[in-house]
Chain A
Amino acid sequence: MKHRHLASLGCLVVVAATVLVGCGSPAASKSPHSSKTLTVMYWTEFDTPGTNATPDLVKSAAAELASQHPGVKVVLEPVTTDSESTYYAKIDLAQRSAATAPDVVMEDSFLIGSDASAGFIQPVPQLASWSGWKHFPTAMQGIATYDGKIYGVMNSTDVQLAYYNTALFKKAGLPVPWQPHSFADIVAASKALSEHDPGIVPTWLYTGTPLGEASSFRGFEVFLDGTHDRLYNDKTHKWEISGPGFTATWNFLAAMRPYEEPVSDWSNPNASATVDLNLMPASKVGIVFDGSWVSTAYVPHSLKPWPAFFTTFDEARMTTDGMGGYTNQSGGFAWSLSTHAANPSLGVDLIEDMSSASNIASFNATDGNLPPRSDAVDEPAWVQVNKLDPVLTFASKQLVYTNYRPNQAAYPQVSNEIAALTGDISSGSMTAAQAEQAYEAKVTQIVGARNVEAMSS
């Protein structure tokens, strides 16, 4: 009796376990790395416009590579997922083993430091002497650098913009063109919009965990970049947890609470579709802080063709908080070389071919991002798409002000805490002061007390 009992319980536990364990080990069915074949792993979203931009880029560079090195074959390994974070997890799991790792991989720039410290990608110092390298602005070089070593070449980037509805602005008595110069200017404009039209969302700010990285990136960090404080101090190698800039940013978010979108709009994972495809076309939102790609959804043959966007909305630069000048923050993807690459020099050649001015221009013209290479803006493909979508021209000019996220392994966790805190402020469950304290505590817990410091003013 006892044995049977145990046996059946054992069976059930095992069955339950498989259901729960979920992830198995990847099938090692791939051919081993060969010195004549390069595999390239990249992200494709489910059927959306621009889906072919990356395979086209790889194929175009592969053809150039084949003319330089006859007999070399490039194998495309698309990873199709619904979200970027699923892609990160998949490539990192694939890179754990030589059997599943690609030779060249498309890395989200904010994970370069993390994946480098994991040993997934290798430094490529030879890129510094490549003729194309000098065309990448300092920020675009730095974004792909970790611990003083180059780990890849940026392929696409973006900036953040304040899109504002000119008709609603005029109605609220606000100046058009509009350019805020401090956080207070943004609050004041939002307040005016709210007072003149209670039926609209005065200002859209990404916030809360459902939007994850968008909330911390576009709902907090790009504003913090407008102060003297930063998330991470590259000189002392410590995380900043407090300072006047942090206080100003938390206070700004709390001040915006009455004027931002209602909880029901931001508290689900589909919020960016709500603002881009519903609120903006219906003129139901005054100001939208979003990425530079927003307009690409409205050009002809896109997701939601809407030619009137370019006359309905105008764009303002991301402001500093009264320090004069402008700021910004960029992300984007880079091409990196896997640690398991069988023929690193061939891999670097492919990366260089993919990063030529014309390839980068063609890719970003289709994909809706910005070329990280300064001489790519004169390429015919980029010039052509800028005629259709003038926002891209304005956006490209913001790259000189840009910053990027800390290239640190702890960043994803810190970012998650920021997203949660922005949501706590927006839902009213925390004040600015409480969020500030919670942030100090959480970051200290994540990276350890030895690795944090407070910014002095």
Chain B
Amino acid sequence: MTRLSDPGEHGGSVVANGNAAALTGALRPARLRARTRRRLTGLTMVAPMLVIVLAFLGWPLIWTLVLSLTNMTVTGPTATHYQFIGLANYRELFASGSGLVQSILLSLYYLGASAYIGQALFGFVLAYLMLRCTTTVRKVVGSIIIVCWLVPEIIAAWMWFAMLSNGGTLQQGLHAVGIPYQTWLVSHPMISVSVANSWRGVAFSFLLFSAALSDVPAELIDAAQVDGANAWQRLRSVIIPLLATTILVDFVLITLGTLNDFTLIFAMTGGGPGTSSNVLSVFMYQQAFVTFRLAYGTASAVVLLAIGAVFSFIYIRTLRRQGALNFAR
């Protein structure tokens, strides 16, 4: 290790000698030296990025953790003169009646319904079916799906609000044909926001899977077909294993996006009625900026962060086991 940390001096002496015997003797250190230099070069090149990451991501993260241990508020006596109160915010969060557990469950519901089913599964089905469609159908349907994705989130939220609310498009349409409609935003707020988020986000998974599906070699499918595999078996045993990495990458991105989603739910239901769509991100906002308990809201943000980290950890492990994600090699 000492040799590694002192490469310049050692290398200098080797070159100065210019001696064949010495060169042979220094072969191992020379290789080490080269590797060290490579690492140093690499480190120098990523250093600016590292500084940026530490300054703009690392510090806010640390500050968030610190803040969550205080009683800081947006206004009131503890806004500027706040104290460290240890884990009191977390104790209050995890005590019964705080609403945190309900919010976590709602966030997981939202993740399951709108990300896994509405975006990943539905996106995959769409991409798979589109393989069989004519170019015209593919172009038209593909464009429509992508337009949903291009619509800014707040506009999508308002559109769905106008669609599902009392006196909204759906109610008036159904009434016109004599079907009674109970306002979905009130009777099924979680289904409403999940449908809206699926509608908005399916394009991303769809595009990812379309690209991956077009890379599946036709010979493999043909071979499986020759071996007597039916359509379901070809999908299950040939296509899905080949797409495993894509699926996991999709999961990583949509999981974080969905867990952190705030705009859509806040604009459509405000977390209500009551607290029936109060997912963790809305809970966090309400604590920090509606009841003005900044530190308490920050503590709930840390909980949200921890949940995101657990999911990321599982995905990364799985990806590693598959031999994908080797960027650190």
Contact = CB atoms under 8 A, between A and B. Distances in A.
A268 B316 contact: no
Contacts of B295: none
A117 interface: yes
Contact of B260 (A20, A114, A209, A410): A20
A118 B268 CA distance: 33
Contacts, number: 160
A270 B165 CA distance: 10
Contacts of B76: 114, 117-118, 409-410
Nearest to A269: B270
A264 B272 contact: no
B79 A268 contact: no
A27 interface: no
A88 to B, nearest CB: 7
B74 A88 contact: yes
B193 to A, nearest CB: 12
Contact of B274 (A18, A270, A427): A427
Interface string B263-283: 000011111111100000000
A8 to B, nearest CB: 6
A66 interface: no
B248 to A, nearest CB: 13
Contact of B301 (A12, A21, A429): A21
A86 B290 CA distance: 8
Nearest to A423: B274
B325 interface: yes
Interface in A419-433: 420, 423-424, 427, 429
Contact of B273 (A88, A263, A278): A263
How many residues of A sit at the interface, in one of the four size bands?
35 or more
A268 B75 contact: no
How many residues of B sit at the interface, in one of the four size bands?
35 or more
Contacts of A111: 75
A120 B309 contact: no
Interface string B192-208: 00000000000000000
A9 B292 contact: no
Interface string B289-303: 111110000000100
B60 interface: yes
Contact of B77 (A88, A117, A424): A117
A93 interface: yes
B53 interface: yes
Contact of B256 (A4, A14, A16, A115): A16
Contacts of B290: 85, 212, 412, 416
B61 A8 contact: no
A423 B75 contact: no
Interface of B: 53, 56-58, 60-61, 63-64, 73-77, 79-81, 161, 165-167, 183, 185-186, 252, 256, 260, 267-275, 289-293, 301, 304-305, 308-309, 312-313, 316, 320, 325, 327-329
Q: Which 9 A-B residue pairings sit nearest by Cβ, starting from the closest?
A: A409-B76, A267-B273, A118-B79, A4-B328, A264-B183, A17-B61, A264-B166, A114-B75, A210-B270
5 contacts: A18-B61, A24-B56, A96-B80, A268-B270, A427-B274
Given A18-B60, A115-B75, A119-B79, 16 more contacts: A5-B320, A15-B256, A17-B60, A19-B256, A21-B60, A118-B73, A118-B75, A264-B166, A265-B166, A268-B268, A409-B76, A409-B77, A412-B75, A416-B290, A416-B291, A420-B274
